[in-house]
Amino acid sequence: MPTPPTQPLLLRRLWSSAPADMEDLVAAALTAGAAKAALIGRDQIVYSESFRDICEGNQCGCYGKCWVCPPEIGEIGDLISRAKVYPRGLLYQTIGTLEDSFDVEGMFAAGANHARVSCRLQDALPELLNQPFLHLGCGGCHLCDVCAKRTGEPCRHPEYALPAMEGYGIDVYNTTLATPLKYINGTNTVTYFGLVLFTE
């Protein structure tokens, strides 16, 4: 089981000081268990509709078999337009350790840990944000061992199940380049990202 860092690093935006209430969002992500978090602007988020083609390739086996994966979440163009409405974002990451690059169990365990962090953050957000927000997670849901979609049931955790950033056409790698958060964090690690889009 990967061990999250014990001393998360609070990162402020590099180009200006953020208002105190926005820094509360960063603090909330770190308190929830994120390794790092940073506030970003709408113009920093990179989108590409080609990510839907990747999903349709179904290498992960979740296409059409998960409530928060394509095609269930909607058309890619509509999702990108919906995300671009929000002028600000809170980008956060979790970093898991692996035995080696073939440690698939460690990758799944790190994904499950990221899902728990996202759930804790989801609980904290309503008190911090006055307007509706859009919370996106990492690829795959990781809440249930078997998604209820596969058994013909409604989602068991609709309040916590988050669509992936990639599902909304977000190029995570290129989005991180203009932030203090690294996409790759060393040998035998796996990094997952989440994003909260908000107005104020």
Q: What global pTM score does this model have?
A: 0.88
Asked if the bond preceding 87 is cis, omega within 30° of 0, the reply is no
Q: Is residue 3 part of a domain?
A: no
The answer to whether residue 88 scores a pLDDT higher than 80 is yes
pLDDT digits (tens, 9 = 90+) for 141-153: 889 989 999 999 9
Q: What are phi and psi of 91, to 5 degrees?
A: -100, 130
What residue type is assigned to position 24 of the chain? Answer: D
Average pLDDT along the chain: 89
Measured distance CA(118)–CA(161) in Å, rounded: 9
Q: Is residue 142 part of a domain?
A: yes
Q: Which helix (H) or strand (E) holds 9?
A: strand 9-10
Give the 3-state secondary structure of residue 166: helix
Q: Is residue 15 part of a domain?
A: yes
Give the 3-state secondary structure of residue 55: helix
Please give the tally of structural domains in the chain.
Answer: 1
pLDDT digits (tens, 9 = 90+) for 94-153: 999 999 999 999 999 999 999 999 999 999 999 999 889 999 999 878 899 899 999 999
Q: Is residue 49 part of a domain?
A: yes
Q: Which helix (H) or strand (E) holds 8?
A: none
Q: Is residue 53 part of a domain?
A: yes
Q: Is residue 2 part of a domain?
A: no
**CA 198 vs CA 22, 87, 88: distances in Å:** 10, 7, 5
The answer to whether residue 10 scores a pLDDT higher than 50 is no
The pLDDT score that the predictor gives to residue 19 is: 52
Residues 132, 134, 136: CA angle, nearest 5 degrees: 160
Residue 31: domain span: 9-198
Residues 193, 61, 91: CA angle, nearest 5 degrees: 10
54-62, Cβ contacts within 8 angstroms, sequence gap of 24 or more:
54/166, 55/166, 55/167, 60/139, 60/140, 62/140, 62/147
